[in-house]
Amino acid sequence: MTLLMAGPSPFVRTVLVTAHETGQIAEIETRKVAASPTGADPELVSANPLGKIPALMRPDGPALYDSRVICRYLDHRAQAGLYPDSRLWEVLTLEATAQAMMDAGVSMVYERRVRPEDMVYEPWIAGQWGKITRALDAVEARWTSHLSGRLTMAQIALGCALGYLDFRHGDRGWREGRPTLAAWYARFAERPSMQETEPAA
């Protein structure tokens, strides 16, 4: 299998952590491609017409894209149980919450990186950060009980989302007022899968 990736993407990291945790990382070759929203690599577009990463090329079928689809595929392939039936809807909801945080965090970066400086729209950036803070508050208040016990995809997705906040938005202090979530992440970040996939500038 070949994973098309670019830069320190939290979506790519989610797939890589899942591959580590399910014992499949040695079966995946990674290949870096250009994935700018204003122009994507032809190889990436041929695998994913949306031109977005990650995309997983596999020998037994068409390429898979969207990190949630790829992670579900890897879990199914390894029968790893990251989506337990007994908590499926909670796991999927928390995974979606984490993915939305990643979307908002990446959008904030693109707003400054892709637009000319005089066209950057600060209310848009503030609105994206508002989504993230509301999600963080919801996890702290209602979801932390789902972060204990056997590993699930919810934990992996949230760990990668929080890691991205540290990497790209560390000056915004997401831990403030969220001691339970901060303590959980400190423990989760020590997992070998997280250490092996820690983003570099």
> What pLDDT, in 10s, does the model give residues 40-96?
788 999 999 999 999 999 999 999 999 999 999 999 999 999 999 999 999 999 999
Q: How many CA atoms lie within 13 A of 76 on its CB side?
A: 6
Nearest alpha-carbon partner for 148 in 200, 107, 87, 98: 87
Q: Note the pTM of the prediction, 2 decimals.
A: 0.95
User: What average pLDDT does this structure show over 95-122?
Assistant: 94
Question: Phi/psi of residue 154, each to 5°?
Answer: -60, -45
Alpha-helical regions (H) of 61-152? 67-78, 88-113, 122-138
14, pLDDT greater than 90: yes
Residue with tokens 């929203």: 37
Nearest-angstrom CA–CA distance, 43 and 192: 31
Band of residue 201 on the pLDDT scale cut at 50, 70, 90: low
156, pLDDT greater than 90: yes
User: What average pLDDT does this structure show over 127-152?
Assistant: 96
User: What average pLDDT does this structure show over 166-189?
Assistant: 97
Handedness of CA 176, 153, 98, 171 (dihedral sign): positive
Residues 6+ apart with CB under 8 A from 95: 68, 153, 154, 157, 158
Handedness of CA 64, 70, 74, 76 (dihedral sign): negative
Sketch out the chain's domains with CATH numbers: 2-78 (3.40.30.10), 85-191 (1.20.1050.10)
Q: What is the percentage of the chain residues whose pLDDT exceeds 70?
A: 100
State whether residue 51 is helix, strand or coil: coil
- Contact of 19 with 2, CB cutoff 8 Å: no
